Amino acid sequence: MDQTYYDAVTKMEEMNVDPDYIQGWQGGYVLNPEREEQRVTDAYSAGYEDGKSRSTDNFASWVKK
């Protein structure tokens, strides 16, 4: 992993981002295969796509209240 990965995950955890989004982002970032269909959520899918593109722009949309 690189420092960008660790910084992004730390920031997401501090912001209280949805855990499914974080797991999706992590999986997408390292290009892991996606979860099986019955375990995919909207948050996971969004995180996976953002992680694949290495985007850190959408975390705030997934903060849990």
Residue 63 located in a structural domain: no
Q: How many domains does the chain have?
A: 1
Q: Which pLDDT value is given to residue 65?
A: 78
Residue 65 domain-assigned (yes or no): no
**What local confidence, expressed as pLDDT, does residue 24 receive?**
97
Whether 64 is in a domain gets the answer no
Q: pLDDT, tens digit, for every residue of 25-53?
A: 999 999 999 999 999 999 999 999 999 99
Domain membership of residue 51 (yes or no) is: yes
pLDDT for residue 6 is more than 80 = yes
Q: In angstroms, rounded to a whole number, what is the distance separating the alpha carbons of residues 45 and 1?
A: 21
In a domain? residue 61: no
Domain that holds residue 50: 3-56
Any domain includes 13: yes
pTM, two decimal places: 0.93
Q: Tell me whether residue 44 is exposed, middle or buried, using C-beta atoms within 10 angstroms of its C-beta: 0 to 12, 13 to 18, 19 or more.
A: buried
Instruction: Indicate the pLDDT class of residue 1, thresholds 50, 70 and 90.
Output: confident
